[in-house]
Amino acid sequence: MTSETDSPLLAHIKRRINVSGPITIADFMTEALAHPEHGYYRKQDPFGRAGDFITAPEVSQMFGELIGLWAAVTWQQMGSPPKIDLIELGPGRGTLMSDALRAVRNVPGIGDALTVRFVETSPVLRTHQQTAIMAYGIPATWHETFDDIPTRANIPAIVIGNEFFDALPIRQFERGEKGWAERLVGLDAKTGKLGFVRGAETPITDALIPVTMRGAAKKGDIFESCAPAIAIADQIARRLNETGGGALFIDYGHPGSAFGDTFQALKGHEYHPVLSDPGDADLTAHVDFAAIGRAMNEAGARTGAVLTQGTFLRMLGIEQRAEHLKTGADDAQKTAIDQALSRLIDADQMGTLFKVLIAYGRDTTPPPCVSGVAG
């Protein structure tokens, strides 16, 4: 049942449900975020105050600068190879990469070694990224997926993903009286509105829940899984093992697998009903860092202990960098720097909610800030 007021994408989703029945949350997210014509990331720039959300690179230049220096030290610890791919997943406007390249431009040899590779599907954002890094004269290429990036013999990779995994499609499973059932998106026959429906409890669905979590579950618990995140983590791990290199992932989420409904929508910097306005609101879910780490370890790569963003940035010297930036600044600028620092590292802001996972190839020297190695 469609309505004259439905957007083209909402009407498309309703027709799909009418023909084939309820769809998974993953299918709904894929349509809403990545539909070739009407998908959220395909048609607009969602970043910044004029968009729907602000990411850490938009908060302060310090964030991207420190990640750039982390990458430079990682490169040096690998012996400063003459060529290296610096890969960013979901690079937004290119702000992080621009700040990173500015921070490392005086590191001897790195400018000649770097090739920047962006994994980006949005034509709008690709234009922003190209403009953001143009001044540095570093060769750059764009790719639809990580797997599209060619593996070059003896050329290692450094992979950066800031708020990348949270936008990948998830599936949800709810514990019932006897087993697990998938939570689906269906259509109310009376109102014509999208809503959540519960699939059947089957042994196949039960098998999708990690064995270690089944015994602890109680009725009503929700488990979220993100198959695309696991697949990409596996691809990155295999690449790091083959060529050498490291990876840095920063996102909001939990260090260990846990129950809970974290599926959410943001529109105009406010939480929004998740099934309303597909294509016009950002859809995300918290990242299961334990699952990503396990996938990378199983593929042969090594990972460090999951850190909070606040701990990671302090280890890199963000407080000292803030003090340096305040040198010669006026009172208003000093206040802005302090506010940005607080937002990035304080426990009640981004400092604790956001987590950091560092991975590296089995034959690669551990990058900076690695502790508690697994794999």
- State pLDDT tens for residues 49-86: 555 567 899 999 999 999 999 999 999 999 999 999 99
On the question of pLDDT at 145 being above 80, the answer is: yes
Instruction: Report, as an integer, the average pLDDT of 199-215.
Output: 84
In this prediction, residues 124-145 reach a mean pLDDT of: 95
Q: Tally DSSP H helices, then E strands, for the chain.
A: 16, 17
CB-based contact 341:66 (threshold 8 Å): no
Residues 98, 133 contacting (CB under 8 angstroms): yes
pLDDT per residue as tens digits for the range 164-195: 999 999 999 999 988 899 999 999 988 889 99
| DSSP per-residue codes, 116-141 | EEEE---HHHHHHHHHHHGGGT--EE
Backbone angles phi, psi at 369, to 5 degrees: 75, 15
User: Residue 283 — very low, low, confident or very high, per pLDDT cuts 50/70/90?
Assistant: very high
- The architecture that CATH gives domain 56-167+227-251+286-360 is 3-Layer(aba) Sandwich (3.40)
Task: Tell me the per-residue pLDDT of 210-225, one tens digit each, with 9 for 90 and over.
Answer: 888 888 899 999 999 9
The residue ranking higher by pLDDT, 86 or 123, is 86
- Does residue 1 have a pLDDT over 90? no
pLDDT of 147 > 50? The answer is yes
Lowest mean pLDDT among 4-8, 42-46, 355-359, 369-373: 42-46
Q: Which residues contact 259 (CB under 8 A, 6 or more apart)?
A: 213, 216, 217, 221, 222, 223
Q: Which residue has the higher pLDDT, 340 or 178?
A: 340
pLDDT value of position 23:
97
Asked which of 3-17, 315-329, 338-352 is least confident by mean pLDDT, the reply is 3-17
Indicate the pLDDT class of residue 2, thresholds 50, 70 and 90: low
Return the domain boundaries, the chain.
8-38+171-224, 56-167+227-251+286-360
Q: What is the pLDDT of residues 90-120, one digit of tens each?
A: 999 999 999 999 999 999 999 999 999 999 9
**124 — pLDDT class (breaks 50, 70, 90):** confident
Length of the chain counted residue by residue: 375
**How many of the other CB atoms lie within 10 Å of CB of 36?**
8
